[in-house]
Amino acid sequence: MKNNIIRTFILLTILSIAGKAWSAQVKITGKATDYALNSIDLNILHDFISEEKIKSGTIRFNADGVFNLEFDLAETNLCFADFDGYHAMIYLEPGKTYEIVFPPKRTLTESQKRNPFVKPDPIWFGISRPGKDEINVQIQQFEQAFSNYENKYFDQIFTNQAKSLVDTVKLKLSKEFPKTNSPLFELHKKYREAELEFALHQGKSSAFMETYFSTAQPVYNLAAYAVLFNQVFLNYFTVLTNASGSAEIKNLINTAGLQQLDEHFQKQMHFNKALSHLVLLKALNDAWYSKQFPKASILKMLDLVKTSGWSEYEQKTAQLIRSELTYLTSGTTPPAIRLKNLNGQKVSFEDYPNTYIYLHFTDPKNPICRQHLDELKTIASHYKDKLVIINVIPVNVGFKNESGWAGLFTTSESSILETYKVKTFPVSYLIGKDGKLLLSPAPNPIDGLDRQLGQLLKSDYMKEMQKSNNPGVK
């Protein structure tokens, strides 16, 4: 009987860490007067490779700034919200109630929101009256101490690879933060301290790999694990193919040998099955951007995950990675976007079948954008009846097309940052006559658009001539 109880306790502990525990409700309450009548989405990441956001719920503030949110959570997870230039984080545990504290509200200008070089400030949500064993408090206190030591010994550890200092820092941290009953916090400490060891040998030590990865199951819901994993396995296919005797690995990558790569990782490199799959997914993602491997092979391997007996979570991760890699690429369907012209009438791509559509995100107030619009006016005169121009401008009731610029002027009810990743103006896309993205992105008007359109229409003309001369040719 006693042994059964012990086994049950161990099983529950493992399940809670591995993300397989039963879901329970989380309650979030509080009051933030400055945020009255606002709403903020609270998210988690599906995985730390695709970084696909999953909305857990929306925090809605009433007229007094009071808010309440309840949702089910299957495991302790890092939740986050992006608002007002903040990236606010909090670990939430199933079955718990949190009275959270928001940072002071601030208002960003439109240019600040669109500036790709302005990154949100990472902060922790405050918690009113936290318990002494609150995981967020433990992690924040540890992070403060860790950062102090890292800053103090940065040069010696990261430049001089002083192992004695790594041992010293780990000893100091172990005294300041003795062992607790929180499995997640213990793992957080383990993988944060491992970053110091990684600085000594870049993960090339077999002991390092065995201690932190090869024999350990991945911790999908822990940010500290994700940070270290992404460092250790960065551009892993490139690392492997640059090593001696790598011809076989390179051939497997080029020929989409997913199963053989998986077997190699498990048998030759002694990765456990879950780690092997996670490393492969990370490697495929990075390989796409490295431009050293055939993109067709990368996509084929991501598709093969569905038929290779991988877990549902791994299959979903592969799908999300594939979607992210191919998003907005030529030949794909352009993302849906809700547009209205200046009279409030709906505008849709479907209104212009069998026609080239030049989708032009611009801001008439911007001097550079006005230069492009002036040039676009000239270009449009060259391609009458062959090109539809849809200009998407920021919401501005006072705008009037007094300059006689070409095309429709519309505003978007959708987030152009999320749909077309528009961070600065101008940005353009050319949609082909088949309704698919043809040039993604397309040249802006003063950056070669006229030449590109001329080549396309010349190609269309030659095809039509071939058809007329050879009716059987498609």
- For 34-88, what is each residue's pLDDT tens digit? 999 999 999 999 999 999 999 999 999 999 999 999 999 999 999 999 999 999 9
CB 176 within 8 A of CB 189: no
pLDDT digit string (tens) for 421-457?
888 899 999 999 999 999 999 999 998 899 999 999 8
- For the segment 196-204, the average pLDDT, to the nearest whole number, is 84
- Given this model, what pLDDT does residue 204 score? 78
CA distance 346 to 147: 53
Residue 17 has pLDDT above 60, yes or no: no
- Prediction pTM value: 0.82
> In the structure encoding, which two tokens stand for residue 100, read together?
């959270």
pLDDT score of 466 more than 80: no
Cα separations in angstroms, 27 against 242, 282, 403: 50, 34, 55
* pLDDT value for 14: 38
- Judged against a pLDDT cut of 70, whether residue 336 lies above it is answered with yes
Report whether pLDDT(21) > 90: no
Alpha-carbon gap, residue 120 to 439, rounded angstroms: 31
Residues facing 121 on adjacent strands: 86
pLDDT of residue 399: 86
Top pLDDT among 244 and 334 is at: 334
Percent above pLDDT 90 for the chain: 74
Q: Which residue has the higher pLDDT, 11 or 183?
A: 183
CB of 284 closer than 8 Å to CB of 330:
no
Strands of the 77-83 sheet, one edge to the other = 53-60, 39-45, 77-83, 86-92, 121-124
Beta strand residue intervals within 352-420, DSSP E: 356-361, 387-392, 408-412
User: With 50 as the cut, is the pLDDT of residue 9 above it?
Assistant: no
Residue 316 confidence class, pLDDT cut points 50, 70, 90: very high
The sheet with strand 97-101 has its strands ordered as 66-73, 24-31, 97-101, 126-127
